[in-house]
A = this chain, B = another copy of it.
Amino acid sequence: MTFLDELRALLGPEHVLTGEDTASYTLDWRGRYQGKALAVARPGDTDAVAAVVRLCARHRVPVLPQGGNTSLCGGATPDREGGTLVLSLGRLNRVRAIDTDNDTITVEAGCVLQAVQQAAEQAGRLFPLSLAAEGSCSIGGNLATNAGGTQVLRYGNTRELTLGLEVVTPDGRVWHGLRGLRKDNTGYDLRDLYIGSEGTLGIITAATLKLYPLPVARCTALLALPGVEEAVQVLSRARAGFGAMLTGFELMAGYCLQGVVRLYPQQRLPFSGVSAESPWFALLELSDSESEAHARERFEQVLGEVLEAGLATDAAIAENVAQSRALWHLRESIPLAEAAFGKAVKHDVSVPISRIADFVRTTNGLLQASFPGVTHVIFGHLGDGNLHYNVAPAPGQAEAELLALQSRIYQVVHDSVHAHQGSISAEHGVGQLKVDELTRYKDPLELELMRRIKLALDPDGIMNPGKVVRV
């Protein structure tokens, strides 16, 4: 029997796709990475995943695990050789258990993030991971890339939300590490090694995740700010004044929000006059275990002090849930509006929060010196030091002209990130996009240690080859 015959015998022919049926699995959702697959396998449970991987190991067929296929770095797209098996986790989409006394949920890798959020909410709990792709990305992909998002300031990245994992190893065995423990010091931290390894060390098939109480109320405020320095000072005061109630702190260049309200006239800024023209805005979110009134009271006090100190020029506190949603909607509309600003060269970077103002000023200057007139589309999670620092065409510049400069722009921005002790991939991972960039910026010793781990755990190199690290 050929490999494909064996695969069909294993899963049933309906769960082995070939030829044109693989199309949606070999192109990433933004249409930037086109690969080719030997086949797509759709196993229905962990044992079937393990059996498929054993088959691949025997035939030395490379395996690419895929969830919602929403990677921004080509992490879930095969190469063009056509020798890779895409292993879709889509059918592993069960919520296996919810334990409200332990505040944990155990889910399979193929669960869509939003389904996990909803299952938690139905049990009266919060699963706080939240990001733009939540309606289509899978929790397995979130784990594979240690996804971040908008609630990291309070709840951490996917890593901090995970207690246990079930993993299929590259030789097709199952590590049963689905522990629901908040303290467990019995050996090396395999869990966090698999998280963020983008399927290059094994396949995460299920996870036990932390839940939190649902907040009684959420309240949002928008601030108009004169500059990034002031935003950093406001963040510091907000952390002190709100404590762990502060669950979001998003920074947005004025250009972004002014673009959103220009493009989508049904949306509006809660400011007029000079405040509406502010060079920067920040969106703050409080989650309150008491009441909406209490959250608003806290906003009034702390933001009052911030205004008095001249750190912000204006503030609008949402008066009800609808207004809170409208403010979030402004923030969430930026990526959509970006398309209209002209296709941008995008960066997902982080620097220490104390260096972020200098980073923005310096990098803007370097870009203007080399690429006069380009537009800075800057927004992101200031509370995590994480900016989506995107570069759009200059007024009148053709998209193609800018995209031709892409690798030079990457280098200017990433060199600056590196000089500011930052990370060139804050929350989107490495995938295939940044493998070579890593060799430019990472300590060679660190790359060597990564390679040794890859060789130790995947000696035949069959797991998602070409991603994260080259062996």
Contact = CB atoms under 8 A, between A and B. Distances in A.
Interface of A: 99-104, 145-146, 148, 152, 154, 156-157, 159-160, 169, 173-177, 179-190, 192-193, 195-197, 201, 212-215, 232, 236, 239-245, 287-290, 298, 350-355, 381, 383-386, 421-430, 434, 438, 441-443, 445-447, 449-450, 452-457, 468-469
Nearest to A153: B182
Contacts of A181: 350-352, 385, 421-423, 426
Given A423-B184, A425-B186, A243 B103 contact: no
A187 B469 contact: yes
A242 B289 contact: yes
Given A239-B213, A352-B99, A452-B457, A189 B196 contact: yes
A248 to B, nearest CB: 14
A468 B186 CA distance: 8
Contact of A386 (B183, B426, B430, B434): B183
A186 B446 CA distance: 11
The 6 closest A-B pairs by CB, nearest first: A244-B244, A243-B289, A101-B354, A456-B456, A192-B192, A184-B423
Given A100-B236, A449-B175, A421 B188 contact: no
A101 B288 contact: no
A447 B177 CA distance: 12
A429 B154 CA distance: 28
Contact of A455 (B100, B423, B456): B456
B244 A183 contact: no
A39 B300 CA distance: 62
A457 B451 CA distance: 10
Contact of A243 (B174, B213, B422, B426): B213
B99 A183 contact: no
A244 B186 contact: no
Nearest to A386: B183
Contacts of A469: 187-188
A298 B291 CA distance: 12
A185 to B, nearest CB: 5
A382 to B, nearest CB: 11
From A186, A383, A384, A447, residue with most partner B Cβ within 10 Å: A186
A192 B449 CA distance: 13
B188 A197 contact: yes
Contacts of A190: 446, 449-450
Contact of A159 (B145, B189, B384): B189
